[in-house]
């Protein structure tokens, strides 16, 4: 059972997972714990 199932039905899990992935890549393109930000090539 996915964590998001507490708030949304299970059929939305994939949507949540990919949304988080996209948001992380958009706002922290080097990953959550990157040492220094450099442009990804």
Partner 1 sequence: MTAAAASRPSRNPFAGVDRNRRDMIIVAALLVLVVVYPLLFRFLQANLGFVPWPDTSVLIVCATFGILALGLNIVMGFAGLLDLGYVAFYAIGAYTTAFLASPHFGIHISWWIVVWVAVGAAAVFGILLGAPTLKLRGDYLAIVTLGFGEIVPIVFRNLGDFTLALPAILGGAILIGPNANLTGGNIGINPIDPPTLPIPGPWGSEIVFSNQQPTFSLYLVVALLCLTFFICVRLRDSKLGRAWMAIREDETAAAAMGINTVTSKLLAFALGASFSGFAGAFTGAYNTAIFAESFRFQTSILIVVMIILGGIGSLRGVVIGAFAVQYVNLTFLAWAAQFVNPPINSLGDTTGIELLADFNLVNYNFLIFGVILAVMMVKRPEGLFPVETARAEMHGVGISSELTGGGDTELALAEESVFEAAPDLVDQGGDPTSTAGSALMADTPPDTIRDRDLPEDTR
Binding region for partner 1 (CB under 8 A): 9, 11-12, 14-15, 18-19, 21-22, 25-26, 29, 39-41
Pick between residue 9 and residue 35 the one whose CB is nearest to partner 1.
9
Question: Token match 């080097």: residue?
Answer: 30
Structural tokens at position 10: 């299970």
Pick between residue 1 and residue 41 the one whose CB is nearest to partner 1.
41
Phi and psi (nearest 5°) for 40? -75, 130
Pick between residue 6 and residue 35 the one whose CB is nearest to partner 1.
6
């Amino acid at each position: 059972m996915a964590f998001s199932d507490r708030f949304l039905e299970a059929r939305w899990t994939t949507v949540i997972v990919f949304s988080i992935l996209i948001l992380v890549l958009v706002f922290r393109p080097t990953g959550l714990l990157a040492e220094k930000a450099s442009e990804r090539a």
